[in-house]
Structure 1
């Protein structure tokens, strides 16, 4: 089968470590299903893997991709939940949690095999491309907003770094849920796009927010951390899912304890949350924002766009 895979580790030029070519077809195994991939989507996780973060030389070649939607063996349309080992289904109770492409081959291929319990029905209202965008970035944003921060209609949220997959999802989902969303970006075009997607305010990074917010969606790290800590209300929550600009140089602990802030790390979400997210999208006008679509053979071009940070929303790969 055709697949896009990490052929080597390249910390300084990750896209150059990607190859697209033939790989063995998935092997049938008990309690797992082989899914014909109709669409997959890219995440920064793919770039980190190519840099060698979480992926070792002795694991190569490794097919990349954590998110997909496609056709199950019984002919049904499904969404793939990319977390393996969270509850033992298909792997045993003692296996630690991993994402597809960390221990098991991922979804940037014509076929992917996953524990059968990881397959969720794809709502007919969603296209395969839209459904393939839900599994990592959108699921993480959903968990950050509604599980971790426990936000309710009428409350407020600051989304750092508008344009990325998680940030875009948080803007769209937050606006649809009746939150007052403030977004930041260095790019004027991305600030305008954030407003078009439902943000009430769009600011340059570090700019004073109109009013302190109930929660912050933080995926940028070093470049925005101090602003996040200073923008949240006393007793508020900072939900952290990444640090694309590097780790924060100072934790601002004095402000954290004095304002009684909650700082909570978030990695992905559960199958139940993915099912709830898919249902939310199906029953509303909310759809994942798709920046661009590439053929599987052109996966390197999609990853290059992701690496440049030029996208607004998700980049989809179609086998």
Structure 2
């Protein structure tokens, strides 16, 4: 079967489309014939991640398709079922932090950028019927991350002001859509006028230029909740915009790994800083129910055939996208 793999050397030079061996499902597994899959920033980071094995690994965490075969002992899923892939491995129930042994699908385990995938039967759920195959295929990782950040960690409430720095990524666009569905007021930031305009079209109440003083643009309108993945490039601005007692939830480090926290504003303002990543299988099912209830659709940027995966990676690396980049099996 054709698959997008990372081999050697490290980086983009090790990214290629090649034939990989197809296997049958073992006990507790299902084989899914994938229709579509979706890129995440994690896929790029994986290109530069040191691995124990030098064997080629199939990349990708997002996917949707049709169950082709089931292994021994599988009774919750049947051949012909239309499913989405839950990329959260080994995290069954909602907990404060992932359990030991938690992994994300797609390195070191084989992922979704392929024609077929073997996966534990507990990691597939029914495809939302209102979504196209392309939309379903790009949903899982980003929507799960956004859901946990907003609801489990951020505890967003209707009427609150939510600030989303760096609009344009898959997770950030899901945060916007979900926060609006939950009744929140949403402000987004971006240096790109085109991305700010697109966010307003999607329902953002306010969109500001992240390169200009935020306080001035927002006239002192502070946020109850900030969902951040940018890190040091915007952290000081975020801190100034968080109301006393507010919550800042971080799930990424796009602009760097380290921030400095001025302690007096932190403790005097009674601020809450929370970390999050991905989510449990329980939260994945909650997210799918929320998506169904509110008829949420992923914001699509561009779709490529699997054979053009390198071009898709390059688009994400250049930061040109607004929303999700998809891959389709030909």
Question: Which range, TM-score by smaller chain?
Answer: over 0.9
What stretches of structure 1 of length at least 5 have no aligned partner? 89-93
Residue matched to 1:207:
214
Q: Which residue of structure 2 aligns with residue 291 of structure 1?
A: 301
Cα 1:186–1:7 shift into 2, 3 Å: same
- Contact preservation (8 Å) 1:34, 1:111: yes
> Partner of 1:29 in structure 2?
26
Report the aligned-residue RMSD: 1.7
Number of the residue aligned with 2:64: 69
Aligned match of 2:53: 58
Structure 1 residue 151 corresponds to structure 2 residue 194: no
Distance 1:143 1:116 in 2: 22
The match for 1:313 is: 323
**Aligned pairs, how many?**
309
Number of the residue aligned with 1:8: 8
**Structure 2: distance between partners of 1:286 and 1:87:** 24
| Structure 2 gap segments, 5+ residues each | 70-78, 94-98
1:101 matched to 2:106: yes
Query: For residues 185-213 of structure 1, what are the alpha-carbon distances to aligned partners after superposition, in whole Å with 9 as ceiling and x for unaligned?
Result: 01111111111111111111142234111
**Is the 8 Å Cα contact of residues 223 and 248 (structure 1) preserved in structure 2?**
no
Note the 1:144-183 alignment, pairs <5 A. Answer: 144-183=149-188
Q: CA deviation at 1:58?
A: 2.2
Aligned-pair CA distance for 1:105: 0.2
Equivalent-residue separation in structure 2 for 1:179 and 1:17 (angstroms):
43
CA contact (8 A) 2:92 2:282 kept: no
Q: Is the 8 A contact 2:5 2:57 kept in 1?
A: yes
Matches of 1:248 and 1:189, distance apart in 2: 29
Check if 1:82 corresponds to 2:87.
yes
Kept in 2, the 8 Å contact 1:191–1:202? The answer is yes
SS in 2 for 1:280: helix
Counterpart of 2:3 in 1: which secondary structure? strand
Q: CA deviation at 1:38?
A: 0.8
Counterpart position of 1:39 = 36
Measure how far apart 1:87 and its partner are.
3.9
Show the counterpart of 1:134.
139
**How many angstroms does 1:277 deviate by?**
2.1
